[in-house]
Chain A
Amino acid sequence: MEGAPVTLTARQAASRTLRSSGADADASAPDRAPAASSLDALGDEGIARLRIAPAHRPVRRIVVAVLGALVLLALVLIVLNPRWEWNVVASWFLARSIIRGLLETLKLTVLAGVLGFGLGLVLALMRLSGSRLAAGLSWTFSWIFRSTPLLVQMLIWFNLGYLYDRIVIGIPMTDLTLFDERTSTLMTPLIAAVLGLGLHQAAYASELIRGGILSVDAGQVEAASALGIPARHRHLRIVLPQAMRAILPTAFNEVIGLVKGTAIVYVIAHAELFFTVQLIYGRTQQVLPMLMVATLWYIVITSLLSIAQYYIERHFAKGAVRTLPPTPLQRLRANLGAKGRDRTEVHA
């Protein structure tokens, strides 16, 4: 019995508001009339001409102005100060020795990157496999290679010949040898650098890939198992593509770090970009300009990698977001298209 009156009053209230809103509309009709009629006065053509303008944002304008001024100041300080010796930078930027060093840096990055991420993937899968032995091996690898300074690892690989004179592969206790070589012949600066950088990278890459794999919802693996999809396909077709979303930003961090990290191989006198630059300024004493040459090249490589990162991340975002972010080209075309349409309409 208690419910009934409440319902009734609620309904009455509702009908009253309905009626009163109608009454209000009538009452305010004279007040609103000018506004309504001004829209009417525009006519269809007038309404078609209406454009939406962005809101004024005074604070944003001030911030943009201040930032612009700061950028300009920085440019002036850098470009107009003759002590940066930009003419020296320009003369060396495309020099043959610099380009050779640059190619060497790229070669190191690619080789160490492939070794690092390839081995890293294997280590991550080992760590996540049900096998305790595999997981233990993987853990131990990461533990050792993450806890030793990269510099030390590099020097150990390079000086392996001091520790072990020859590398022999054969059957122990017999004279049968399949392979026998002086360690110092095998361990060129390039091999030492790739091993040092690659194995160190693998230890980090394995953790980062493992993190990505763990971020994929367990239901995905379960559904794939329930469908009888074999383990290899489960990992490579179902889990990894989705893990890539979590892996990619950090992986590109690592790769970009690796590009500059290759500079460390100067300790074993491998002539990559940084070592080359050092050689040159050791002779010419133009230290800062030569460092700028190397820096500008690192900036170029990093920029290219960042562009690649954008597109690769976009590729792996399909399915994870409702609409993909536009590519810069698409954005440009959309902007131009919109302006073009405006113009034609104005002409019409």
Chain B
Amino acid sequence: MSVLDTSTGSKPTGSDGRPDGGPDARAEDRDPRTGTRAALQGGKGARVEVRGAHKSYWDLEVLRGVDLTVEPGTVTAVLGPSGSGKSTLLRTINHLEALDRGAVAIDGEIIGYDLRGDLLVELPEKKVLAQRTRVGMVFQQFHLFGHMTALQNVAEAPRRALGVPKREALARAQELLEVVGLGAKADAYPRRLSGGQQQRVAIARALALRPQVLLFDEPTSALDPELVEEVLSVIRELSRAGTTLLIVTHEVHFARDVADQVVFMDGGRIVEQGTPAQVIDAPRHERTRGFLQRIHAG
């Protein structure tokens, strides 16, 4: 896509500084096998497990027992009508939403709680924040910090959450902005950017912590149709970078393209899950079929 091509010419500046990257990872910008630029690579993908997730808001049951496994480095698309619990599920994975019952684990580490015998003891905020730095999140409404430039937005979390020195954080932020094709917009405030550009900054911001898991909550739903592709192409490139991706989306074609696993949710449960070919092209469940038909019609 043109968006990404613009950035290909500009080599990432400054040293990579990745703790886990070997010398050959630094030797060239692109991984020869996947064709993905090194800067895009977050941490090594982690395994996400959700077990028996229940969540209610007062008398409204949002999650009624969700079990889901996402293998390291794979892409899972979550489909389903509004109010089916997709977003809530996503938000429980980085503990923005606490579960009533059940648990979430990333690479076997339980998120938000300390397991003591049969008890899940809530972790102090500091530990939860540390866990969250392994999980990046991209929101439907972007939620860029409005009083900061694009560059400051991307550099903020490494500085405040990881204590990276300002200079280093800014250099890495510039590099990430170039990867999402916005190197020239580093000093622009979010309000001066288009929706698609804002969402690409938000993706760069999520990548700045080199997350092992990236959560996308309807990343293109707030965008004008002609801006959707520029964001999707960034996500598509990310999907080859080895980070584990969970994407709540209404873009069925996109889901079929990039997802290794598709999950269809309704009424707080996972109704159907499998490969894109199984769930999107040959849905077995009545509810899935109806939903996909309506999406295609609309």
Contacts and interface: CB of A to CB of B under 8 A. Distances in A.
Interface of A: 217, 219-220, 222-231, 233, 237-238, 241-242, 316, 318-322
Chain A interface helix/strand/loop/mixed: helix
Given A227-B157, A229-B160, A238 B129 contact: no
Nearest to B130: A228
Residue from the set A229, A238, A320, A321 with the largest chain B CB neighbour count within 10 Å? A229
Residue from the set A223, A225, A238 with the largest chain B CB neighbour count within 10 Å? A223
Given A220-B146, A318-B189, A227 B209 contact: yes
15 contacts: A217-B143, A223-B144, A224-B157, A225-B96, A226-B94, A226-B135, A227-B156, A227-B157, A228-B161, A230-B126, A230-B161, A242-B147, A319-B145, A319-B148, A319-B189
A237 B160 contact: yes
Interface in B182-208: 189-192, 205-206
A242 B132 contact: no
Given A228-B157, A230-B160, A320-B146, 8 more contacts: A223-B143, A224-B145, A225-B129, A227-B157, A228-B162, A231-B125, A318-B189, A322-B192
B133 interface: yes
B161 A229 contact: yes
Contacts of A230: 126, 129, 160-161
Interface in B89-126: 94, 96, 125-126
B36 interface: no
B139 interface: yes
B141 interface: yes
Contacts of A233: 160
Given A319-B148, A319-B191, A320-B191, A223 B161 contact: no
Contacts, number: 81
Question: How big is the B interface, by class?
Answer: 20 to 34
Given A226-B132, A228-B130, A228-B132, A318 B147 contact: yes
A320 B147 CA distance: 7
Contacts of A224: 145, 157
Nearest to A225: B96
Given A222-B96, A233-B160, A319-B190, A227 B146 contact: no
B143 A219 contact: yes
Interface of B: 94, 96, 125-126, 129-133, 135-137, 139, 141, 143-149, 156-157, 160-162, 189-192, 205-206, 209
Contacts of A217: 143
B192 A229 contact: no
A321 B189 CA distance: 9
A322 B191 CA distance: 6
A225 B162 CA distance: 13
Contacts of B191: 319-322
Nearest to B202: A223
Nearest to B125: A231
Q: Which 10 A-B pairs have the closest CB atoms?
A: A227-B157, A223-B143, A228-B133, A228-B161, A219-B143, A228-B132, A319-B147, A233-B160, A226-B137, A319-B189
A94 B294 CA distance: 80
A227 to B, nearest CB: 4
Nearest to B141: A219
A237 B152 CA distance: 11
A227 B206 CA distance: 7
Given A225-B132, A226-B94, A318-B189, A220 B160 contact: no
A301 to B, nearest CB: 29
Nearest to A321: B191
B126 A223 contact: no
Contacts of A241: 147
Contacts of B156: 227, 229, 237-238
A228 B96 contact: no
A220 B144 CA distance: 7
A241 B145 CA distance: 10
A319 to B, nearest CB: 4
Contacts of A219: 139, 141, 143
A222 B97 CA distance: 10
A237 B147 CA distance: 10
Contacts of B162: 228
A226 B96 contact: yes
A172 B88 CA distance: 55
